[in-house]
Amino acid sequence: MNRTDLQEEYIHQLIDGMDHKTMYQFVYDTLDESLSKYSEAELITEVEDYYPELLEDDTLAEDGTLAKDTN
């Protein structure tokens, strides 16, 4: 078995051993880490491409950036 085969088998075993809650958390954490590396403009573009309804009129400031958090 070479490295690629071993890695593939290991990944399959890890996935097979996860319940849905664990898998959901893993996917969430991975996406959160990845999206945290985006600039604000890149994040807005990504959301516009896939889920534009998330960017309602009051979500963006006049300059096209995200509105400041008021919490």
> What pLDDT digit, counting tens, does each position of 40-55 carry?
999 999 999 999 999 8
In a domain, 1, yes or no: no
- What sign does the dihedral 43-38-33-71 (CA atoms) show? negative
Kindly report the pTM of this predicted structure.
0.72
> What pLDDT digit, counting tens, does each position of 3-46 carry?
999 999 999 999 999 999 999 999 999 999 999 999 999 999 99
**In contact, 44 and 60? CB cutoff 8 Å:** yes
In a domain, 36, yes or no: yes
Q: What distance in Å separates the CA atoms of residue 22 and residue 50, rounded to the nearest whole number? A: 25
In a domain, 11, yes or no: no
CA torsion angle 23 26 27 30 (round to 10): -170
Give the count of domains, the chain: 1
What is the domain extent for residue 70? 19-71
Give the side-chain half-sphere CA count within 13 A for 9: 6
